[in-house]
Amino acid sequence: MTEIRTDWTREEIADLFDLPFTELLFRAATVHREFHSPEQIQLCTLLSIKTGGCPEDCGYCSQSVKADSEVEATKLMEVQSVLQRAAQAKDAGSQRFCMGAAWRNPKDRDMPAIVEIVKGVRAMGLETCMTLGMLTPKQADMLKEAGLDYYNHNVDTGPEYYERVISTRNYQDRLDTLQNVRDAGINVCSGGIVGMGETREDRVGFVHTLATLERHPESVPVNALVPVKGTVLGDMLADTPLAKIDDIEFVRTVAVARITMSMSMVRLSAGRESMSEATQALCFMAGANSIFTGDKLLTAPNAGDDSDSALLAKLGMTALQQEEPMRACKMAEREPAE
Ligand code: SAM
Ligand code: DTB
Ligand code: SF4
C-alpha cells in the first residue's frame, strides 16, 4: 500500500522524473488506481468574475496591467449573473465551479458579494473553488464560513525560477496565503505552470514544494503555459518556439505529481486546446483526473465541450458524479484528531 509522504527529497523527485517513461507511467497509474477510479474525470467550469486590470506582474498573465494584451478590464460581476453562469455549468454537466478574480487580494468591501456568490453556488450542489489572490486569515475564515470548498492559489513554479516570472509578490507570500487557507479549514488547491522556460530542476523544485507541505494540497492544477501575445512569456515563446514544453516532459510532470501526492486531485488545467488527444490521454494515464470544460478558461480559449465529450467517449471515460467515496474516506482518515 502506498504511504502518504511529505518528506520527499529533491533527489527522490529528480529520480522519478528520470525514470524510463514507461516505468514512470506504470508507477503513476498504479498509485492512481489505489486512491481514485482511473476511468473517472471530474468536469469543472471556470468563470472570470473580475477580469483584467491586475496590478501584479505575473509574466504569463493576460490580465496584468503590465501586459499589452487585448483583455478588457471589468468590475466584479453581479452576484445574480455569476449564479446564472453556475446554473448553466451545472446543466452542462459540471460538478465543480471555479471562480477567478484578477486581484492582488480581495478588498474587504468585496467580501460581502463574494460570500453571497459562494453561498449561492454551493446551494446548487456544485463544488466551489475561488482564486482571488492573497488572503488574510480573516478573509479565509469568512470564505470558510460561507461554505467555500477549495481555494486556489498557485506556487506557479519552483522557488528558484519564481523570481524570473513575478516580482510583485514573493514565494513566501504565496506560502503564507496557502497557510491561511489551510488554517481556516478550506481545502487547498495549489499547482503551477509548466513550459515557462524553466528547467527540469525547476520542475523538480515545483513538485517538491507542494509535496513537502505539511499536508498536500487536496487539489493540484498542472497548467501548460498558454502563450498570450503581449505578455512577457507569451512573447518570449513566440520568439523562441523551441522553448515550448515537450509533451512527454509535461506528462512526466503530471506523473510525478500523481506519485508524490497520491491522494490529491491532479488537474489537467490550462493548455489543453493545443494538446493532442494522445497527449491528454497520456496525462489521464499518468494520473490526471480533472479537466476544465467549456470553450473558455478565464480569458484564454479552452478545448470546448464537444471535443471533450468526444474525447472522453473515445477513451471510454466518464464524468465523476460525486467525490469518490474511496478518496473521501482515505482523506477523512488523515484528518488530524480534534
Ligand atoms: N489573481 C489570482 C492569482 O493569481 O492568485 C487568481 C487568478 S490567476 C489567473 C490563477 C492562475 O492561473 C495563476 O496562478 C496561473 O498559474 C494560471 N495562469 C494564468 N495565466 C496563465 C497562462 N497564460 N497559462 C497557463 N496558466 C495561467
Ligand atoms: C489554475 O491553476 N488554472 C486556472 C485556475 N487555476 C484558475 C486558470 C487558467 C488560466 C489560463 C489563462 C487564462 O484563461 O487567462
Ligand atoms: Fe493578477 Fe492573478 Fe494574473 Fe497574476 S495571475 S497578474 S495575480 S490575475
**Domain map of the chain by residue range?**
14-331
**Crossing angle (nearest 10°) for helices 200-211 and 247-260:** 20
CB 155 near ligand 2, within 6 Å: no
Closest ligand 2 atom to the C-alpha of 271? Answer: 11
CA angle 178, 182, 183 (to 5 degrees): 115
For residue 133, the SS3 value is coil
143 close to 115: Cβ distance less than 8 angstroms? yes
Q: What are phi and psi of 332, to 5 degrees?
A: -65, -35
Please give all residues whose beta carbon lies within 6 A of any atom in ligand 1, as ranges.
Answer: 54, 60-61, 100, 102-103, 131, 133, 153-154, 156, 192-193, 223, 225-226, 228, 270, 298, 300
Catalytic residues: 54, 58, 61, 98, 129, 189, 267
Nearest CA to ligand 1 atom 20: 61
Report how far residue 175's alpha carbon sits from residue 162's, in angstroms, rounded to the nearest whole number. 13
| Cα-to-centroid distance, 16 and ligand 3 (Å) | 31
- What CATH fold (topology level) applies to the domain 14-331? TIM Barrel (3.20.20)
| Cα-to-centroid distance, 47 and ligand 2 (Å) | 10
208-265 pLDDT, tens digit each: 999 999 999 999 999 999 999 999 999 988 888 767 889 999 999 999 999 999 999 9
Helices (H), the chain: 10-18, 21-35, 79-91, 111-123, 137-146, 159-165, 171-184, 200-211, 232-239, 247-260, 277-285, 305-315, 325-333
Report how far residue 210's alpha carbon sits from residue 223's, in angstroms, rounded to the nearest whole number. 15
pLDDT in tens, the chain (338 residues): 788 999 999 999 999 999 999 999 999 999 999 999 999 999 999 999 999 999 999 999 999 999 998 899 999 999 999 999 999 999 999 999 999 999 999 999 999 999 999 999 999 999 999 999 999 999 999 999 999 999 999 999 999 999 999 999 999 999 999 999 999 999 999 999 999 999 999 999 999 999 999 999 999 999 999 999 999 999 988 888 767 889 999 999 999 999 999 999 999 999 999 899 999 999 999 999 999 998 899 999 888 877 888 999 999 999 998 765 556 556 666 655 44
